[in-house]
Amino acid sequence: MKRTLGLKRCVSIVLSLLLILTMLGGAGLPPVDNGSGVVSLMDEDPIEVSSKEELSDALYEAESGDTIQLQANINYESGIIIDGIDITFDLNGYTLDVVGDWNFGLWVTNGGNLSLDNSKGGVFNVSGTEFGVIVDFEEHDGTGSKAEVTSATSTESVNKSYGVLAADGGEITVFGTVTTTSANAYGACAQSGSEITIHGSIIAPGAEYYIVVGTSGRQVTGNNYPTSKEGYRTYTDGTNTVWVNDDRSFICKVGDINYTTLDDALAVAQIGATTTTTITLLDDINYGRLYIDNKDITFDLDGNDLNVNNTEAMGNGLQVTNRGKVLLSGSGSGAFNVTGADHGVYVASGSQAEVSSATATGSASPRGALATGSESVVTVYGNALQSNSAATDAAGVFANAGGSIIVSGNVTMTSTNGYGAVAAGGSAITIDGRIDLAAGAAADTYLVLQDVKWPRSAAFATL
């Protein structure tokens, strides 16, 4: 049953009357065990909210002990303040995204407490400009404000900012990730006897400090030994403490920051940036489709394999567009293999890509590698493969409109309906190995130059 906001007032009046009757010798109501071992006169229903307007009303009229229960996903475009009261958000399987329109996403102060009930699932994401989450005691004569969130983000890109800040004996618990973007940012800051626990990770690329405890700035490797919490890295000055999940299953890194997912590392790269973001693999990575638009990324495989396999019926394995770059660095072993239905690797509009191998698996016009547009370049350091024997209008490699493809290994066609290599519109293809056609393929399907078919035996000196 949905509890209206006015019901709380009625309940207070009824309880007051019952108290008066009891004092006068009335029988009153028998206590009720609500199943949790807590005995109370009555068990109030949660305040159910389905929209940002209902959530705003609920927060405005909230009293200590209230539970606000989501009935739908809500995007709340305003900072939330919890001032001196205890509130529970029952996520109820839904997502609450708070984007602060002030300098904070969530502010809990004056001994307030915002806790989460995610027993049925759900996510509570908070972001603000200067502060993702801040807990303190604004009146400066008390301690103990607390907050729980799924993730916290500071969106400030230039000035001083904090992913999470706990002060005045406050406590913050983050069940997921803390993220900052400014070079002047602190990922997590604990001051004046406060504690922060982060069950996920801190993503703070280029931040001034990864963590601050008291007045002590720390980088990732500045944790204390031994840890005071099993499975977590401990950062403390003896008065303030930050614990961060010590998950050793990091798979890649950017600079000194380790990441548990490739998506997190890719998010570091800025659109249109003039500098390269180098992602170093720490382990083998299997990934779905990889689409890069107007970003400059270099993979340092460092002896590991990056296998990109787009299993969708249509689409590309690696797609690089709008003058983007996906390049390889490092002299160690390791491979960057890309597979997709339409194209293993697709590069357009002046972009560049380097891969170890490229495979197209689709049935309609598949190409192992395609480069289209002036200054678009694909380099395949191994082999390019068209793997579907039933495909039509297929090509091992295809360059047009000024694009270029370089294959250090071989180009292999499995279908008899298509061509080993196609270059048109002022394009260029270099194959250091050979072109292998399917058994039974027509002789003139070896390659096509500007709509002219050429057999393997053609005298290329005359081209």
pLDDT tens readout for residues 57-75: 999 999 999 999 999 999 9
Query: Cα separation of 97 and 247, whole Å?
Result: 26
Task: Enter the tokens of residue 329.
Answer: 């660095």
Task: Enter the tokens of residue 269.
Answer: 């790269």
3-state secondary structure of 9: helix
Query: Measured on CA atoms in the order 275, 206, 127, 229, is the torsion positive or negative?
Result: positive
Q: Is the pLDDT of residue 159 over 90?
A: no
Least confident range from 229-233, 244-248, 289-293: namely 244-248
pLDDT at 455: 54
Q: Please state, as a whole number, how many other Cβ atoms lie within 10 Å of the Cβ of residue 124.
A: 24
pLDDT at 142: 63
- CB neighbour class for 31 (10 Å; exposed up to 12, middle 13-18, buried from 19): exposed
Least confident range from 40-49, 126-135, 443-452: namely 443-452
- CB neighbour class for 308 (10 Å; exposed up to 12, middle 13-18, buried from 19): buried
Closest by CA to 178, choosing from 155, 145, 206, is: 155
Residue with the bigger pLDDT between 435 and 32: it is 435
Q: Is the pLDDT of residue 454 over 70?
A: no
pLDDT at 146: 96
Task: Enter the tokens of residue 386.
Answer: 């068209």
pLDDT at 205: 75
- Arithmetic mean of pLDDT, 338-350: 97
Closest by CA to 149, choosing from 131, 167, 169, 129, is: 131
pLDDT tens readout for residues 268-288: 887 887 789 999 998 899 999
Residues 6+ apart with CB under 8 A from 7: none
Percent of the chain with pLDDT over 90: 64
Closest by CA to 61, choosing from 50, 73, 71, 47, is: 47
Q: Is the pLDDT of residue 172 over 90?
A: yes
State the DSSP string of 109-151.
ETT-EEEEE-TT--EEEEEESSEEEEE--TTSS----EEEESE
* DSSP designation for 264: H
- Arithmetic mean of pLDDT, 282-304: 94
pLDDT at 35: 35
Residue with the bigger pLDDT between 385 and 181: it is 385
- Give strand ranges (E) for 171-305: 171-174, 178-179, 185-190, 195-198, 202-203, 209-213, 216-218, 232-236, 241-245, 252-254, 257-259, 277-281, 285-287, 290-293, 296-300
3-state secondary structure of 322: coil
Residues 6+ apart with CB under 8 A from 448: 419, 421, 422, 423, 424, 454
CA atoms within 13 A on the CB side of 113: 12
Task: Enter the tokens of residue 84.
Answer: 């001196």
Residue 456's pLDDT band (boundaries 50, 70, 90)? low
> Strand 216-218 relative to strand 209-213: parallel, antiparallel, unpaired?
antiparallel
Whether residue 205 has a cis bond before it, omega within 30° of 0: no
Query: Cα separation of 385 and 438, whole Å?
Result: 11
Mean pLDDT of the chain: 85
Residue 331's pLDDT band (boundaries 50, 70, 90)? low
Query: Measured on CA atoms in the order 439, 440, 441, 443, is the torsion positive or negative?
Result: positive
Phi, psi of 60 (to 5 degrees): -65, -40
Least confident range from 238-242, 341-345, 365-369, 441-445: namely 441-445
pLDDT at 442: 76
Closest by CA to 173, choosing from 131, 128, 113, is: 113
